[in-house]
Amino acid sequence: MDEHTRRCRHGVGRSVRTLAALLALTAAGCGDQGPEPIPVEAAAHQAAVESFHAARVAELEAPDSWLSLIALHWLQGGETTIGSDPGNDLVLPGEGTAPIVGRVTLQDSTVRFLAEPGVRVIQGVDSTLSLRAGSGAFPPDTLGDPLVDEATLGGVGPGQSTVLRHGPWNWILVRRGDEYALRVRNNRSPVYSAFNGIDRYPISTRWRLTARWVPHEKTVVVPNVLGTASEQASPAYVEFWIDGERHTLDVTGDPAEERFMMVFADQTSGDGTYGGGRYVWFDAPDELGRVVLDFNIAYNPPCVWTDFATCPLPTPGNRLAVRVEAGEKDWIH
C-alpha cells in the first residue's frame, strides 16, 4: 500500500509544523488534483526568475566561485609542501607563484600552515562557497587581510573558513568524515574563459507548481558523488500534479526551517540536464500546508562546474518519471 492510499484510508499523521497545516491536509480529501494554487502575476514571476538567473551567472563569474575550484588535495599525516616547483606535494603552476609557498602539517585533527620565509601569504575569512545559489557576486575583500607566517586552517564560524592566499591561488580546509583536504582555487583558471553563461529552458508558469506539504517521519539515505552516503531525517514529502499525474519528492532538513533545498532527478537528467540531478529551493508551507515548487529556478549543483566539489545526489524516492523542461540545462564545454 503506497503512502497516498494509506493517507486516504487512515488520515494524515501529526504535522511537524502547524496545526493549520494538519487541518488543511486532513480536509484535502482523496482523489484530488492538488491544493488550491498560490497565484502569481506572470510579469512578476518572469522578473523574479530572470533576477535569479542573473545572480547565478554573476556569482559564477566572480573570483573564488565554483569555476575557480581546481583541486581537492587530500592530506596525509605529516607534511605537505605547496608551490610551483614540480617536486612539491601540491603543485600550483603558473608565473608569479613561489617555487615553495609553504608547508601544511596534519597532526591529530589540527592542520597548520607555515609559509616559506620571504613568501607573501595573506589570511582571511572565506564564505563564498557556502552562499546560497542566486545570492549574486560577492568578490572577496582582501584589503584588510594580514600577511602571515603561519596559520591554523579550519572553520571560524557557520559557513566560514580560514582562507590563505598567494597570488591568484587560495586554499581552505574541508573535512569529509575523518579525512581532511585542501580545497584549492585559482582565480586565473581557464575555466572562467570557457564559461559563457548558463543555458536554460524557457520560463513558463506551467512549471511553477503549488504542492502539498505532507508530514511524515522517515529517514532517507542520501548518496553523493564520492560514492558514500549519509542518513538524513525527512520531515515531510511534497505532493504535486503534472498533467494530471501525481508525483512526490521527499524533503530533508529541520522542519523548523523557513526554506528547504531539495535534490531531484527527472527524465531530462543526462538528456539535456546534468545526470546527477538538480537542486531547487522552496519556502516553508503556508497556513494551508501549501508550498510553491518553481522548477524555473532549478539549478545545477557545483559538480557541473568543477570535478572537485562533493555534491549530494537524488535519493531513489526523488527521481521523477517525467521530463521537467524548466530551469538550468547541463553545461557543455
Classify residue 87: in a domain, yes or no.
Answer: yes
Classify residue 226: in a domain, yes or no.
Answer: yes
Say whether both 101 and 28 belong to one domain. no
Classify residue 331: in a domain, yes or no.
Answer: no
**For residue 177, what is its C-alpha cell?**
568524515
Classify residue 333: in a domain, yes or no.
Answer: no
Indicate the residue type of 89.
D
Last residue of a domain, one of 161, 186, 211: 186
Q: Are strands 110-115 and 122-126 parallel, antiparallel or unpaired?
A: unpaired
Say whether both 113 and 152 belong to one domain. yes
Q: Are strands 90-91 and 78-83 parallel, antiparallel or unpaired?
A: parallel
Say whether both 11 and 86 belong to one domain. no
Say whether both 154 and 243 belong to one domain. no
Classify residue 135: in a domain, yes or no.
Answer: yes
Kindly state the DSSP code that residue 38 receives in the 8-state scheme: -
Question: Is residue 283 a contact partner of residue 253, using CB atoms and an 8 Å limit?
Answer: no
Last residue of a domain, one of 186, 219, 238: 186
Question: Is residue 212 a contact partner of residue 182, using CB atoms and an 8 Å limit?
Answer: no
Q: What is the pLDDT of residue 138?
A: 82
Say whether both 173 and 259 belong to one domain. no
| DSSP secondary structure letters along 187-252 | TT-THHHH-----BPPP-GGGEEEEEEEEEEEEEEEEBTTS-EEEEEEEEEEEEEETTEEEEEEE-
Provide the domain count of the chain.
Answer: 2
Say whether both 125 and 162 belong to one domain. yes
Please list the pLDDT of the chain residue by residue as tens digits (333 residues): 444 444 443 333 334 344 434 544 444 445 677 899 999 999 999 999 999 999 999 999 999 999 999 999 999 888 999 999 999 999 999 988 999 999 999 998 999 999 999 999 999 999 888 888 888 888 888 889 999 999 999 998 888 999 999 999 999 999 988 899 999 999 999 999 999 999 999 999 999 999 999 999 899 999 999 888 899 999 999 999 999 999 999 999 998 899 999 999 999 999 999 999 999 999 999 999 999 999 999 999 999 999 999 899 999 999 999 999 999 999 987
Classify residue 44: in a domain, yes or no.
Answer: yes
Could you give the residue ranges of the DSSP H alpha helices within the chain? Answer: 3-10, 19-27, 42-61, 191-194
Task: Give dist(CA 302, CA 232) in Å, integer.
Answer: 21
Say whether both 219 and 287 belong to one domain. yes
Neighbours of 146 (CB within 10 A): 9
Nearest to 152 by CA among 86, 195, 108, 120: 108
Say whether both 48 and 94 belong to one domain. no
Last residue of a domain, one of 186, 210, 245: 186
| Domain boundaries, position 118 | 69-186
Which is it for the CA torsion 303, 126, 97, 58, positive or negative?
Answer: positive
Classify residue 330: in a domain, yes or no.
Answer: no
**Which residue is listed with cell 531525517?**
233
Say whether both 75 and 179 belong to one domain. yes
Residues 6+ apart with CB under 8 A from 284: 17, 257, 258, 259, 260, 291
Q: What is the pLDDT of residue 16?
A: 38
Say whether both 298 and 264 belong to one domain. yes
Say whether both 178 and 211 belong to one domain. no
**Which residue is listed with cell 620565509?**
117
Say whether both 76 and 176 belong to one domain. yes
Classify residue 252: in a domain, yes or no.
Answer: yes
* CATH number of the domain bearing residue 76: 2.60.200.20
